[in-house]
């Protein structure tokens, strides 16, 4: 049986989500229709929205369902009523590319060697210029490093700026409360926590108006046109209701057995499920291929859409040398990870490391 340790890319569908989706697929009405079938679909949609709202500490009208985290990030950045964007150097491509395509000036917020944003640099960037939106993710998809969002928000509020938080990797792994973070918008996605691909949400602060990306009908309070994917959203809500991951001990056990590796962001607070590391002299491409042949699925520090190993802008921003960054392997655990999986990964990695040493 294969071992799947790439949950930060996508997490397998939980049984509760599958069951909820099967039930919702029987609701063949349009949630915008006023007949009985439409009202049944609307009831399912409203119930799912309440689940998301409660989980994130907001009221239901603040939840705008989208096709996923990328769309939510694009809506937040392109639709924000600001004149410029300040984007951390380690953001997900859906934030970086959305910023570039927004037509607004973009300034890059640097990070330190652990991948934490430079608050002094942020204060300096906020001191001059027109109203800005600051985009800082809650947890990095490659390294798992958690950012000081409360401090970021406090600085932004002091200078009249907005804050967008990409919480896609954090949601379901650590506590995420919109109000406590002090942000203005926050994106989440279903498939990172055991829900289906194709469902996500943007949480928008009450009273903040964003320009819609998708024009059409009046769905989602006219903030995102298009008939809602009721079944996928039901699966999203069901996954959200499942117990949060408690697998830090497995991640720590894994790292304790990896001799000679460099763990990126090790001195910072990280997600409990994520480990990004490199063994000098062992390329990520070689490691991924060997592990795949051994029946173990992991990822490189950064993988592009074609599935090939790509340069990591995250590790580059952290000052990691290109040669070492090219060796980065990411192991990300999930809801179905077992202690035996970690044991088998360690055994396979040890064999791989021994072959490299003997070569």
Catalytic residue annotation? 304
Q: Minimal CA–CA distance to 8: which of 248, 246, 273?
A: 273
352: helix, coil or strand?
helix
Cα separation of 283 and 330, whole Å? 13
Distance in angstroms (rounded) separating the CA atoms of residues 113 and 187: 26
CB within 8 A of 329, min separation 6: which ones?
276, 277, 278, 284, 287, 288, 298, 299, 300, 301
The structure tokens listed for 95 are 């934030």
51: left (phi over 0), alpha (psi -120 to 50) or beta: alpha
8-state DSSP, 268: S
Residue of 104, 112, 113, 114 whose CA lies nearest to 134: 104
Question: What phi and psi, each to the nearest 5 degrees, are found at residue 296?
Answer: -125, 125
Residue 345, phi-psi category: left (phi > 0), alpha (psi -120 to 50), beta (remainder): alpha
3-state class (DSSP) for residue 176: coil
């Amino acid at each position: 049986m294969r071992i799947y340790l790439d949950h930060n890319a996508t997490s397998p569908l939980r049984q509760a989500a599958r069951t909820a989706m099967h039930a919702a697929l029987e609701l063949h009405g349009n949630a915008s229709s006023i007949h009985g079938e439409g009202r049944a679909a609307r009831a399912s949609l409203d119930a799912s929205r309440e689940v998301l709202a409660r989980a994130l500490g907001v009221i239901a009208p603040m939840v705008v369902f989208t096709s996923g985290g990328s769309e939510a990030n694009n809506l937040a950045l392109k639709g924000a009523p600001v004149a410029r964007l300040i984007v951390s150097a380690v953001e997900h491509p859906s934030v970086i590319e959305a910023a570039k395509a927004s037509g607004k000036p973009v300034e890059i917020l640097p990070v330190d060697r652990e991948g934490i944003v430079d608050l002094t640099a942020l204060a300096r960037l906020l001191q001059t210029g027109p109203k800005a939106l600051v985009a800082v993710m809650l947890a990095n998809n490659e390294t798992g490093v958690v950012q000081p969002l409360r401090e970021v928000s406090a600085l932004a509020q002091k200078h009249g700026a907005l804050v967008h938080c990409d919480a896609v990797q954090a949601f379901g792994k650590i506590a995420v409360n919109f109000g406590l973070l002090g942000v203005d918008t926050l994106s989440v996605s279903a498939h990172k926590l055991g829900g289906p691909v194709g469902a996500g949400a943007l949480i928008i602060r009450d009273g903040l108006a964003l320009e819609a990306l998708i024009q059409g009908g009046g769905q989602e309070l006219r903030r995102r046109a298009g008939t809602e994917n009721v079944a996928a959203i039901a699966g999203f809500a069901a996954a959200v209701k499942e117990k949060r991951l408690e697998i830090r001990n497995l991640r720590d056990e894994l790292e304790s057995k990896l001799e000679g590796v460099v763990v990126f962001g090790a001195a910072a607070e990280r997600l409990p499920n994520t480990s990004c590391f490199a063994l000098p002299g062992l390329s990520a491409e070689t490691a991924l291929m060997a592990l795949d042949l051994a029946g173990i699925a992991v990822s490189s520090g950064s993988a592009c859409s074609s599935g090939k190993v790509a340069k990591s802008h995250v590790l580059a921003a952290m000052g990691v040398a290109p040669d070492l960054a090219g060796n980065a392997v990411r192991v990300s655990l999930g809801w179905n990870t077992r202690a035996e999986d970690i044991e088998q990964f360690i055994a396979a990695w040890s064999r791989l490391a021994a072959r490299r040493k003997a070569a």
